[in-house]
Structure 1
Amino acid sequence: MEITFLGTGVAIPQKNRVQSGMLVRLEEKPLLIDCGSGVLSHFPEAGISHTEVDTVLLSHLHLDHVADLHPLIKANWLRGSTSMKIYGPEGTEEWFLKVLEAYEYLQEEVDVDVIELVPGKEFTPEGFDCEISCAAATHSVTALAYRVTGEDGEFVYSGDTEPSREIMDLAAEADLLIHECSFPPSMKVTNHTTPNSLAGILKEYNNGIGSICLTHFYPEMRGHEREAVNYLQGYFEEEVILAEDLMKLEL
């Protein structure tokens, strides 16, 4: 299982970080998780053909996680690939169709199946040899965290969230927890995570997580990345990784 971080940033433009998205290869078949602005433009640099992607998993519907989804569908259509399955939280279908209405020329050209999920749902996407389960995230809109279990390992992606027991329970015994860390330790925030708020809940749990990878950095985190790692290593014995755009991890 190979994970490629296509975007590790947020809605505010930053050098070397586009908005959120990552691609997971499971037995060579790619699963795209979130698709914010700039993610599609990183496909060539990552060595990925966009027409390979026919399955997308959305954590929530904020623009920095979905803005490149319709452009991806159009790009695929222009190259003769018209089918797409989109998994996401409640409200995903209504949002997707409302945006598609603005592009009448696409409506009859593409075959998009939207599957809405609720916390606790377990499923296997069509064509994949893996199991995916989800839990509620703690954010300003309905949001889901996902656990992906494949032949080579398993990881959890938090999406945007405050640290939560639901996500930590989802991550029990996982090889990797990919968790947002939007702001540095000194900031007090809601709906997002800081190193100290994540450390607080890590201290309560001893659930065998193999390693943690931090992502979804606001500009305020610039210059505080190593501080974040050092802070968390005071509470977590395993490796703490800082995600970068186009970085790859193997499980």
Structure 2
Amino acid sequence: MIEVTLLGTGSPIPDPRRAGPSTLVRAGGQTFLVDCGRGVLQRAAAVGVSANNLTALLLTHLHSDHITDLGDVLITRWVGNFAPDLTPLPIIGPPGTAEVVENTLKALQFDIGYRIAHHADLTTPPPVEVEEVTEGVVWGRDGVRILVAPTDHRPVAPTIGFRVEHNGASVVLAGDTVPCPTLDELAAGAGALVHTVIRKDLIDPMPMQRIRDICDYHSSVQQAAETATRAGVGILILTHYVPALVPGQEEDWRALAATAFDRQIELGDDLHRVEVHPGVCVKPAG
């Protein structure tokens, strides 16, 4: 079984009810954080997970709302872990990730210096191990395998999606993207697809062009559902709602997805949890 928890389901617009985009995936005793939007560690703490518990950090792309709390994750894991030899945190993301991590640590160099000067057992900066990828198998430990494929969020490029597999169960995390063949292939036959969604019908009437611009590089609810149907996934999990999912409107969003996907649809507030078991997929369309 793979457990998926939507830690943050919000958007770049601050929302008192929703943290920034982030998803927790637990499989085979390993804990993966996918993206790290604002408030991620507070949400993780609510389900009993600390920065110390993270097996790896997976980044779908480098838009600010998906990496807002990168520094918090790195520093908190470092100062809150009392192991004599802290192992580096694996960080897997698209090209550019290493530069972002390096510059984040550079921005925190004063804080890091203060802590090293104050605590005798802190002698080096937060240890990290960055791997930049665009496709292929990127993880294979203790029965958990992770694959990566390109997605399409242009002009943001490159962007990637992740597929986590364990004992016959599988979950795909699309990140921000429009429909594309590489995502269809990554998600083919998966037990669940975690997909970011927007409501174009609510955004198109808005007078601000900058807000309307987001429609051309995100998937609508219906498009995410169509991707899930083509790939033959068992469960469609919606997240990163734009505009924010208002309490009482859940069934409206679900109904839109149901126009193109006739299986299990999951959506909800932060901390919504879904169990994905083996055998909950169908044959991909085509």
TM-score (norm 2): 0.79
Q: CA deviation at 1:11?
A: 1.2
Q: 2:108 aligns with which of 82, 99, 103?
A: 103
| Matching residue of 1:216 | 240
The amino acid across from 1:236 in the alignment is F
> 1:52-81 CA distances to partner (integer Å, 9 max, x unpaired)?
114100001112111112111111111236
1:231 matches 2:256: yes
Q: Do the aligned residues in 2 keep the contact of 1:165 with 1:201 (CA within 8 Å)? A: no
* Contact 1:33 1:58 (8 Å CA) reproduced: yes
Distance in 2, Cα, partners of 1:132 & 1:15: 33
> What residue number does 1:144 align with?
160
1:247 to partner: Cα distance: 1.3
Partner of 2:138: 123
Gaps of 5+ in 1: none
Q: 1:199 to 1:113 in 2, by over 3 A?
A: closer
2:281 paired residue number: none
The residue type equivalent to 1:15 in the other structure is: P
Q: Quote the RMSD (CA, aligned, Å).
A: 2.1
Q: How do 1:113-192 and structure 2 match up within 5 A?
A: 113-118=129-134, 120-125=135-140, 127-139=141-153, 140-142=155-157, 143-185=159-201, 187=203, 189-192=215-218
CA distance in 2, matches of 1:202, 1:43: 27
Instruction: Count residues with an aligned counterpart.
Output: 247
Q: State percent identity of aligned pairs.
A: 30
SS at match of 2:194: strand
In 2, the alpha carbon distance for the partners of 1:29 and 1:174 equals 19
Gapped regions of structure 2 (runs ≥ 5)? 114-123, 205-214, 277-286
Output the CA distance in 1 between the equivalents of 2:268 and 2:67: 19
**Residues 210 and 238 in structure 1, CA contact (< 8 A), matched pair in contact too:** yes
Q: Does structure 1 retain, via aligned residues, the 8 Å contact 2:222–2:259?
A: no
Q: Which region of structure 1 is more displaced relative to structure 2, 46-55 or 6-15?
A: 46-55
In structure 2, the CA distance between the partners of 1:44 and 1:208, relative to structure 1 (3 Å rule), is: same
Q: In structure 1, what is the Cα distance between the partners aligned to 2:37 and 2:11?
A: 8
Greater displacement, 211-220 / 178-187: 178-187
Supply the distance in 2 between the matched residues of 1:21 and 1:202 (Cα, whole angstroms). Answer: 20
* Distance apart, 1:197 and its partner CA: 3.2
Structure 2 CA distance, aligned partners of 1:3 and 1:199?
18
Counterpart-to-counterpart distance in 1, 2:98 and 2:191 = 32
Offset of 1:219 from its aligned partner?
A: 3.0
Q: Call closer, same or farther: CA 1:29–1:220 in 2, change over 3 Å.
A: closer
* Residue type of the alignment partner of 2:137: E
Rg larger for: 2
Indicate yes or no: 2:25 matched with 1:24: yes
Q: TM-score, normalised by structure 1?
A: 0.90
Q: Is the 8 A contact 1:187 1:194 kept in 2?
A: no
Alignment correspondent of 1:248: 273
